[in-house]
Amino acid sequence: MVYTEQGLPVQTRKDSNLTSQGSRDSQETVLKRLSFLEEVVYRQLNGLSKSLGLIEGYEGRGKGGLAATLSPDEQVKAKELGEKYGYNAYLSQKISLDRSLPDFRPSKCKELTYRKDLPQVSLIFIFVNEALSVILRSVHSAVNHTPAHLLKEIILVDDNSDDDQLKGPLEEYVNKRYPGLVKIVRNKKREGLIRARIEGWKAATGEVTGFFDAHVEFTPSWAEPVLSRIKENRKRIILPSIDNIKQDTFELVRYGDSGHGYNWELWCMYISPPKEWWDAGDVSAPIRLVQQEDHGIDIGDISQRVALRKSMNCKSFQWYLDNVYPEMRTYTTTLFYGELRNNKVSNLCIDQGEKENHTAILYPCHGWAPQLARYTKEGFLYLGSLGSTKLTEDTRCIVDDKNSRFPQLLNCEKITNVRQKSWHFFQSDSIVNVDTGRCLEVIPTKGGFGFELLLQSCTGLSKSLGLIEGYEGRGKGGLAATLSPGEQVKAKELEEKYGYNAYLSQKISLDRSLPDFRPSKCKELTYRKDLPQISLIFIFVNEALCVILRSVHSAVNHTPAHLLKEIILVDDDSDDDQLKGPLEEYVNKRYPGLVKIVHNKKREGLIRARTEGWKAATGEVTGAEPVLSRIKENRKRIILPSIDNIKQDTFELVRYKDAGHGYNWELWCMYISPPKEWWDAGDVSAPIRLVQQEHASSRIYHIFK
C-alpha cells in the first residue's frame, strides 16, 4: 500500500490481489448473514398473516392465477362466507396473499424499456365489509408487482365497515407489515363510492392517483406503461387492461383485446376492434373525454364548463359519435326510459324473465337492466339495458303476435309487421297494442297467490262509461253491425236524439279494426322521415260520446305517433252532461297531453268553431303520411283525402269510389267519376286546383284524389 501526495492510499497489484481475495470472503460472509436476517424478518412478518389464518409465499393453491378448489368438507364450510360476501371468501383464505400471477403482456410489450423519471403513484382502494384476505391480497399484489421507486403509498379507504376484522386486525397488520407505506382512512358514515374516492384522493401525496376496488390483483409490470403515458401527457386518464378473477375459483381470466367506451347508462363497455383495425397501429390509445352537450337530460347550468370547452376548441359530442365512436347506438327517438310499474301493484315491474322464454313477465322491482323499459316516438316498447353498440344485438321489444296471451319479447328489427310491435302508451294509463287493441294488464293468478302479465281486452276507463275497447267485436273490419230485436227497441230513443244509431255505436269497440282500401301501389310507397306534425281538430255539438271517442281512438290508432302533434276537440256549446265532466276526465286520463278540449261559451257555428280549434293548434299542419307528404312538397297545398262513408244505421264502412271533387254553386262538395280518358293519363292524386271564377263572386276548388 502506498500513498499519493494527497495522502490517499493507492493499491499495488500485489496488495490488490490479497485484498480481492479477502473481499470475496467477507462479501460471502455478509450475504450469508443477510440471508439469515431476511429469513428471521420473513418469519416474523409471516407470523402476522398466520395469526389471521392467512398464507404468504408464491406457492400453494391458485398459484400462477390458476383455479383453486376446495375439498367436499371445505365446500360445506364455505357456504356461509359465500352468502355473506358474494364470492368464495373461504377459498380466498386458503390462497396465498402473494400467489404468483401470469404475465399476459404481448411479447413486444415485454421488450419495451421505460424512462427512469416516471411519476410516483398513490394507489387508493375503497372497501366496505370486504373479506380481510381479499383486501390484503390486493395490497400484497400491489407491493409485489409495482417497482418500489414508483409506489408512493397505498391508501385504504374504509367506507364505514362494521366488520371487526377490518378494524384492529387490519390496522395492526398493515402498520407492522408495511410501516409508512400503507395508510388507512376511515369514514365516520357511509359516503358511497365517489365520496370515498375523494377522501382517498385528499390523503394521497403521489403525483398520480390510481383508484381501485379492494378485490384486485396486479400482474407483472402493470405500472410502467400506465405512468409512461401520463408522463407524456398529464391530461390523460388511463384505463389499463383489466383481467377477470372468477368469484368461485379465483382463476385469473385474460382480458380480450378490445376498446373501451361508455354506454348511455355510463357503464364502461368493451368492444372488440373491427378486423380492419388489427394492423392499423396502437389500439391502447387513452380514453377520449367528451362533453355530452346535446344528448341526454337537462342537468342544469353548466355554462362555465361550456365556456371552458369553447376556449379549448373542444369537439362536439356529435363529432365524437361520428368520428371516434360511430359503432355506438344512439337513441334520439326515446320518449320515456325507466321501470314500468302497475299503479295498483306498484311493487311489481315488467321484466325480461328467462331470455330463452322470449316472454315479458312480472317480477319484484329492482331497477336493474332486465326491467329497464324504453318507449319511442314510433311507439315501440323495448325492454332491457340499452344496447351499447351497433356491433351487438339491440334490446328486444314487446310484441303482440295475436297467438299468445302473453307479451312476446323479440328482436325488434326482425318484426316485419310494424303494428304488432307498436303500442299506445300514456303515463298512468293503459298500454294498448296498435295491431290487436289488446292491453298489457296485470291480473291475479288462478291460485290467488300472485299476479301475472297478460294481453287481453282492455278494462278501465271505457268500461266505466259503458263503452268497449279492443279491435274485436261487432263491426270489426268495418263490417255492418246489428242489434237483436230487443236491442232495436232500446235503440229507437237514442236514434231519434242523434239522427244515427247511437245505441249500436255503444256496442262497437272504440278501436274496431278497419280495412285498408288503398290501391296496392299506394301501399308500396315509402315516405320521408321529416314530414310535418299534424294537429287534428274535431268539431262537435251534442254528439254521442261513443262516436266522439271512436273518432279520437281511430285517429290515435292510425296516425304514426311521431306525426300526431295533438287532437283538439272543439265543443260548440253542447248541453249534454256526458260531454262535460265524463269526456274531460276520459281524455285527460287516457291521452294526457295529447287531447285538448276547447269549450265555446256560446254557439259559434262550424266555421268559427274551426277557427277556435285552429287558434289552439300547435302543429305545423292542421287537418297522414300521403297527405303530409304532399304538403311537405308544397305548403300552399290544401289537401282533401279520400273520405269513405260510415252508414248511420249499421256503422258499415263503405269504400269511397275513385272520383274528382268539385263544389257546386251552393258550395256543396260534389264527387264526379273521372272520364274514361283520364284513367291512364297519369297521377290522379294531384292537389286542389284553385280556379278563379271570372263571372262569379267566389272561388271554386277542384279536388282530385
Indicate if 363 and 421 belong to the same structural domain: yes
The confidence score (pLDDT) of residue 623 equals: 54
Indicate if 104 and 193 belong to the same structural domain: yes
- Is residue 24 in a domain? no
The confidence score (pLDDT) of residue 78 equals: 92
Indicate if 74 and 196 belong to the same structural domain: yes
* 49 vs 622: CA distance, rounded Å: 80
Residues 390, 393, 398, 400, Cα dihedral to 10°: 110
Which phi and psi (to 5°) does residue 514 adopt? -130, 150
The confidence score (pLDDT) of residue 687 equals: 41
The confidence score (pLDDT) of residue 624 equals: 63
Indicate if 93 and 209 belong to the same structural domain: yes
Indicate the number of domains in the chain: 5
- Is residue 97 in a domain? yes
What's the chain's average pLDDT? 81
Q: Is the pLDDT of residue 552 over 80?
A: yes
Indicate if 605 and 664 belong to the same structural domain: no
CATH number for the domain spanning 385: value is: 2.80.10.50
* 271 vs 389: CA distance, rounded Å: 8
- Is residue 413 in a domain? yes
Q: Are 142 and 182 in contact (CB under 8 A)?
A: no
The confidence score (pLDDT) of residue 12 equals: 42
Indicate if 204 and 108 belong to the same structural domain: yes
Domain final residue pick, 256, 278, 293: 256
Non-local CB neighbours of 32 within 8 Å, separated by 6+ positions:
none
- Is residue 469 in a domain? no
pLDDT tens track for 169-194: 999 999 999 999 999 999 999 999 99
Q: Is the pLDDT of residue 145 over 70?
A: yes
Indicate if 101 and 159 belong to the same structural domain: yes
Edge to edge, the sheet with strand 669-672 lists 669-672, 660-663, 700-704, 689-691
Q: Are 192 and 220 in contact (CB under 8 A)?
A: no
> Which class for 419: exposed (0-12), middle (13-18), buried (19 or more C-beta within 10 A)?
middle
* 372 vs 370: CA distance, rounded Å: 6
Q: What percent of the chain has pLDDT over 90?
A: 40
Q: Are 240 and 226 in contact (CB under 8 A)?
A: yes
Region class of 40: left (phi > 0), else alpha (psi between -120 and 50), else beta: alpha
- Is residue 108 in a domain? yes
Q: Is the pLDDT of residue 533 over 60?
A: yes
Domain membership of residue 315 as a residue range:
261-324
Mean pLDDT of the 661-679 span: 68
- Is residue 329 in a domain? no
Q: Is the pLDDT of residue 141 over 70?
A: yes
Which phi and psi (to 5°) does residue 122 adopt? -105, 120
The helix (H) or strand (E) run that includes residue 569 is: strand 564-571
Q: Is the pLDDT of residue 39 over 60?
A: no
- Is residue 55 in a domain? no
Q: What is the DSSP letter of 298?
A: -
CA atoms within 13 A on the CB side of 388: 15
Indicate if 583 and 649 belong to the same structural domain: yes
- Is residue 491 in a domain? no
The confidence score (pLDDT) of residue 279 equals: 42
The set of cell numbers assigned to 3 is 500513498
The confidence score (pLDDT) of residue 66 equals: 93
Q: Are 663 and 656 in contact (CB under 8 A)?
A: no
Indicate if 647 and 672 belong to the same structural domain: no
Indicate if 389 and 452 belong to the same structural domain: yes
Mean pLDDT of the 136-142 span: 95
Q: Is the pLDDT of residue 448 over 90?
A: no
Write the single-letter amino acid at 658: D
Indicate if 292 and 402 belong to the same structural domain: no
CB atoms near residue 98 (< 10 Å): 20
Q: Is the pLDDT of residue 303 over 60?
A: yes
CATH number for the domain spanning 559: value is: 3.90.550.10
Indicate if 351 and 410 belong to the same structural domain: yes
> Which class for 162: exposed (0-12), middle (13-18), buried (19 or more C-beta within 10 A)?
exposed
